[in-house]
Amino acid sequence: MSELFHGHGAHVMEHLRVPLFVRYATGDEKYRVAAENCFPKTARHLSAGGACISDEGVGRRPGSPYIGCEYCTMLELLHSLQSGVEKTGRASFADWIEVLAFNSAEGARQRDGRAIQYCTRDNQYEATRQGRGSRFKLSPTHDDVAVCCPVTALKFFPYFVNQLWMKTADGDGLVAVNYAPNRLETKLNGVAVRIESDTAYPFEDEVRMTVTPENPLSFGIRLRVPGWAGNMKIEAPGASVAGEEGWRVVTKEWKSGDRIAISFSPGIERKAMPNGELYWKRGPLVFALPIPSERKQLKSYAVEGFRDYEYTPKAGACWDYGVDDGSGEFRLEKISGKTDPWTGAPVRLTGKLFNRKSRVNEPVELVPMGASLLRRVAFADTKSVRLLESEMNLARKAKVTASNSFPGYRPDALVDGVTEGFPDNQDAEWACRGDGAGTKVRLLWNAPVAIGSVWLFDRPNPGDHVMAARINFSDGSNVEAGELPNDGMEPLRLNFAEKTITWMEVMITRVGPKNRNVGFSEIAVFKKQP
């Protein structure tokens, strides 16, 4: 459990099914323990939208709104979660399925269904062919990368629908695993049974089921109780309702036309990502600030209507928001008259966020992540950013040197408590001369310091991007750093067991494809995770 996953994301998620299968087949206790551990371990790598981060590899990285999530990895995670429900009966796996399906999976699709992203992000300020081998553009084939993800995307929702319902292990009852508008046709004890679910879930909080057996038939229907259900109510005249962990079992002799009414009362949840950024969720829906975009065609195909596109923000679009005093409280608004919820969502959250440029709280509207393409899901907690100027930031007491610097850029700007840079304030950042891979920055203290957390802020311009780095410490240890958020708004936070050192050295090991003069806008060091 202590080690984070690494390896190709799709295979890592596929292999989650192995301990489930072996435990199911053998009954061996050690495989039960393995199955119990692998899913909580996976949860450490999750995006807000429910997907495991994987821009091909997981790379021992915690979940982040800035790291890509591959569509093949989403499908394999879906399949493993469905297997988990089947073999363990855990309702929480089904909760996870809905978050994944309605957010990351839906949010990586073009609205007309004719193209998908190979990789998508929670915080997605552009969807272009730049970076990660052109995986973030929209394409029906991605034949310049690999054609796996478009095929996978076609299978995702059929897999989802195929296991909305399961039978109980004895074959005498039915289980509503996930909620969605659907019609089930099956047989129980040789009797044909049809159940129609009328709902706009997840955009409404009610599900209305009509049960139609061919002949009167007694059986139980297990209804999942989502972790966000609040006060879940079930109305089924003449039926008994019994509780099990994560489920309610509704039992009676069912006759044609019998009905079940289910209602939920979810609240709006404010949640935090491992990097400290905050996002909002209601029921299975994660909400995002939509970024107005412009579309550019990259390629056309022989079949009319299918094209590759890239999307960039419209001029003047703003997403540099955070959460400060007087902001971050939201309320639900329902919008009538909408038809396709993925092109015009019938729900939204309204509230205020802190504009980090104008320094005022501004009204904003958040829409379901799955109904957005360019978006911001997770926002900086500006209270934590203020820690840069505090005495807790040990970096401010260090002497900073660099193996080289671009003329006019000073290494000591890395510890000035300001996360700004070109084009607004280049005096507040440091940049190297040339490509940058192999360049080193050293922080030296006059006396030993105990540290357990390092924050790295990228330069705020989109071209110069640190993709990976290694931090070497005076005690002989080191820490690997993955891709930094590319706009300097938020740091890459690295937390580790406390160590006492006299110096640390940050060596840039990989840079972005558009890089000219890579660097950092700020480095912060704390005794423990703030």
Which is nearest to 394 in space by CA: 525, 198, 236? 525
Please report the pLDDT score of residue 13 as a whole number: 96
Of 362 and 3, the one with more pLDDT: 362
pLDDT digits (tens, 9 = 90+) for 88-117: 999 999 999 999 999 999 999 999 999 999
pLDDT tens digit sequence for 169-218:
999 999 999 999 999 999 999 999 999 999 999 999 999 999 999 999 99
CA 341 to chain centre: 20
**Residue ranges of domains in the chain, CATH in brackets:** 9-160 (1.50.10.10), 165-263 (2.60.420), 269-379 (no CATH), 390-526 (2.60.120.260)
Confidence of residue 418 (pLDDT cuts 50, 70, 90): confident
Cβ–Cβ < 8 Å for 5, 15: no
Query: The tokens 């490509």 sit on which residue?
Result: 435
Asked if 199 contacts 208 with a C-beta cutoff of 8 angstroms, the reply is: yes
Percent of the chain at pLDDT > 70 equals 99
In the three-class reduction of DSSP (H, G, I as helix; E, B as strand; rest coil), residue 187 is classed as strand
- Quote the pLDDT of residue 1: 55
Determine contact, residues 106/370, Cβ cutoff 8 Å. Answer: yes
Q: Please tell me the predicted confidence (pLDDT) of residue 176.
A: 99
pLDDT band (50, 70, 90) for residue 434: confident
């799955």: which residue's tokens?
A: 370
In three-state secondary structure terms, 202 is coil
Report how far residue 229's alpha carbon sits from residue 206's, in angstroms, rounded to the nearest whole number: 11
CA separation for the pair 273, 374 (Å, rounded): 19
Q: How much is the average pLDDT of 24-49?
A: 91
Q: Does pLDDT of 156 surpass 60?
A: yes
Averaged pLDDT, 15-27: 92
Residues 6+ apart with CB under 8 A from 252: 218, 236, 238, 239, 240, 258
For residue 312 the two structure tokens come to 């960039």
CA pair distance 368, 280, nearest whole angstrom: 10
| Digit-coded pLDDT (tens) for 213-245 | 999 999 999 999 999 999 999 999 999 999 989
Confidence of residue 422 (pLDDT cuts 50, 70, 90): confident
What pTM was computed for the model?
0.84
Q: What's the pLDDT at 436? A: 81
What pLDDT is attached to residue 239? Answer: 98
Q: What is the pLDDT of residue 276?
A: 81
pLDDT band at 317 (very low <50, low <70, confident <90, very high): very high
Give the Cα separation of 525 and 57 in Å (integer).
Answer: 28
